[in-house]
Amino acid sequence: MLTKDFIGKVAGATGMSKKKVEGLLTTCNAILRENLMAGKTVQLQGLGSLEVKEKKERVVVLPHSGERKVVPSKNQLVFKPVANMKDELKKI
């Protein structure tokens, strides 16, 4: 499902206009990004949490040359679903 369809779905559920929902979604995402950038964990009630996790630097061996390389550490955006949602979606 694409964003457009999702917005339509949310608009239908709340009774708001699609435009308003789109605006709200954009703002919401902006807020989420800002907070994530600041290193905060965002909790989405009934859904899960979005978190920035640091992946540590590690040594890899290139299979074709046998060369060893250090992969620098980086941050990753991780979504951790709430147990409820997890269970609900396990079986459809």
Binding site for other proteins (CB under 8 A): 1-3, 5-6, 9-10, 13-14, 16, 20-21, 23-33, 35-37, 39-48, 50, 52, 54, 73-79, 81, 85-86, 88-92
Whether the Cβ atoms of residue 47 and residue 85 lie closer than 8 Å to each other: yes
CB of 73 to other proteins, least distance (A): 7
Between residues 20 and 69, which has the closer beta carbon with respect to other proteins?
Answer: 20
CB of 60 to other proteins, least distance (A): 18
Token pair in block for residue 86: 């997890």
Sign of CA dihedral 12, 48, 80, 32: positive
- Angle, nearest 10°, between helix axes 18-37 and 3-14? 110
CB of 61 to other proteins, least distance (A): 24
Between residues 31 and 60, which has the closer beta carbon with respect to other proteins?
Answer: 31
d(CA 20, CA 50): 24
